[in-house]
């Protein structure tokens, strides 16, 4: 959790600016706010890192992905290709907007593959909601070629990949719109928060209005603003934005440390029997928030998890059994359990969610064990962790010998 590892005086200073004015609302109150605009500053910091033409701060990464899909024109009855390995928010956003998720295969990048997307295409496919998982990035050359060939709308959930890039382009900026999360567990946190990004002015304006009850934000009298579209409240508070400002400024340094620490561990583990790594399509663009181990098969990964639990090696996720990141545990999605009827229930799901055939995804996630990379690790701590991982891998692999 790198962002929270470095919480300190900088965050308190930004927070204090807001506490002194007492203006927690991101809009208006120009006379009282003493020129303190933390949501705007937060957006600027994200633009500085990513080069995004437009950024809009919202209350969560989930809100940002909802805004990205909506502003890209995804709505009722639209088939959207999604990955079965993601945080559940991606799927929820598609469903709540009335879209129809179509699950496709991922590969060793941990993201949707172009091949997987191609196989899932139907004449009704409107969009792909690509998720850049575990700090890395999808194979963007192959995916962009397909998106162009099939004239698809691309929306990117880069909730876990803020500050990651592929051949110089930052995740979130390949398609029509993108989203980052700044929740408590990310490379930078706002406590709770998210950022919507795009390079397209109209898409930005749609998101800006969508996230604040449709307001056009023209002028300084909120009561007199027009409402070009129907929206909702996904606003960020100035307090959360203030933390986001200080944290985002730390991201280049965090990323450098993460990369160093990830490379240090990979180097130590590279020769350990049975341990491989997830594919990072552009290692120079890795945000390096996760060290993603790939074991030879699901059985050895399960044994490895058992050994690590016995040995007290901690700080990892075995996503295969994780309740919120992998489709195998999404009973409520498979059964379409809803509080009130959603369009997917009325229109019919495009796939039988209870009987999906995704062997490649099952194989990759079965083999995957991810360690959160800490930017404050010392070499001694990393040596000990590498020793622990190697010893457990040896035991897990001994069965195969």
Ligand X SMILES: Cc1ncc(COP(=O)(O)O)c(C=O)c1O
Non-local CB neighbours of 23 within 8 Å, separated by 6+ positions: 29, 32, 33, 36, 238
Q: Which helix (H) or strand (E) holds 206?
A: helix 201-210
Q: How crowded is the C-beta side of 50, counted as CA atoms within 13 Å?
A: 30
| Nearest distance, CB of residue 279 and ligand X, angstroms | 18
Beta bridge partners of 125: 79
Spot the catalytic one: 38, 176, 186, 257: 186
Residues that bind ligand X (CB under 6 A): 60-62, 65, 86-87, 89-90, 131, 157, 159-160, 181, 183, 194
d(CA 121, CA 116): 9
**CA of 247: how far to CAs of 53, 63, 142, 291, in Å?**
21, 20, 33, 22
What is the DSSP secondary-structure string of 223-236? GG---SS---B-BP
> Catalytic annotation on 186?
yes
Cβ proximity to ligand X: between 319 and 386 the closer is 319
Q: CA end-to-end span of the chain, whole Å?
A: 36
| Nearest distance, CB of residue 394 and ligand X, angstroms | 32
| Nearest distance, CB of residue 47 and ligand X, angstroms | 19
| Nearest distance, CB of residue 131 and ligand X, angstroms | 5
For residue 161, give both structure tokens: 């990949």
* Residue among 17, 7, 47, 2 nearest 239 (CA): 17
Asked if residue 58 lies in contact with residue 195, where contact means CB atoms within 8 angstroms, the answer is yes
Q: What's the longest Cα–Cα distance across the chain?
A: 74
| Nearest distance, CB of residue 341 and ligand X, angstroms | 24
Asked if residue 248 lies in contact with residue 46, where contact means CB atoms within 8 angstroms, the answer is yes
Cβ proximity to ligand X: between 111 and 117 the closer is 111
| Nearest distance, CB of residue 68 and ligand X, angstroms | 10
Catalytic amino acids?
A: 186
């Amino acid at each position: 959790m790198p962002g929270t590892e470095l919480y300190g005086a900088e965050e308190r200073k930004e927070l204090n600016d807001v506490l002194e004015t007492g203006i927690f609302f991101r809009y208006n109150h120009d006379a009282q706010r003493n020129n303190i605009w933390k949501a705007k500053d937060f957006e600027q910091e994200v633009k500085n890192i990513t080069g995004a033409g437009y950024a809009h701060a919202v209350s969560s990464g989930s809100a940002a992905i909802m805004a990205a899909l909506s502003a890209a024109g995804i709505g009722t009855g639209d088939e959207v290709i999604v990955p079965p390995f993601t945080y559940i928010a991606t799927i929820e956003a598609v469903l709540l907007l009335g879209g129809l998720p179509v699950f496709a295969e991922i590969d060793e990048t941990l993201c949707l593959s172009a091949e997987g997307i191609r196989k899932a295409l139907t004449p009704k496919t409107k969009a792909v909601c690509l998720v850049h998982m575990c700090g890395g990035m999808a194979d963007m050359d192959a995916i962009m070629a397909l998106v162009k060939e099939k004239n698809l709308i691309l929306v990117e959930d880069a909730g876990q990949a803020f500050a990651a890039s592929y051949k110089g382009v930052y995740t979130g900026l390949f398609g029509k719109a993108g989203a980052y999360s700044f929740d408590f567990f990310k490379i930078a946190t706002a406590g709770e928060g998210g950022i919507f990004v795009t390079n397209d002015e109209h898409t930005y304006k749609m998101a800006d209005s969508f996230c604040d009850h449709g307001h056009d934000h023209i002028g300084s009298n909120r009561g007199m603003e027009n409402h070009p579209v129907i929206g909702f409240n996904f606003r960020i508070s100035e307090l959360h934005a203030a933390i986001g400002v200080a944290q985002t400024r730390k991201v280049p340094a965090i990323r450098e440390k993460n990369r160093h620490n990830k490379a240090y561990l990979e180097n130590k583990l590279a020769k350990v029997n049975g341990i491989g790594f997830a594919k990072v399509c552009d290692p120079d663009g890795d945000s390096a928030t996760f060290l993603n181990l790939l074991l030879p098969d699901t059985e050895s990964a399960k044994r490895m998890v058992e050994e690590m639990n016995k040995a007290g090696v901690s700080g990892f996720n075995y996503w295969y059994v994780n309740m919120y990141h992998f489709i195998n545990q999404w009973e409520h999605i498979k059964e379409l359990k809803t509080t009130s009827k959603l369009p997917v229930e009325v229109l019919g799901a495009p796939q039988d969610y209870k009987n999906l055939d995704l062997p490649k995804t099952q194989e990759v996630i079965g083999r995957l064990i991810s360690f959160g990379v800490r930017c404050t690790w010392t070499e001694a701590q990393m040596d000990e962790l590498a020793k622990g991982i190697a010893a457990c891998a040896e035991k897990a692999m001994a069965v195969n010998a």
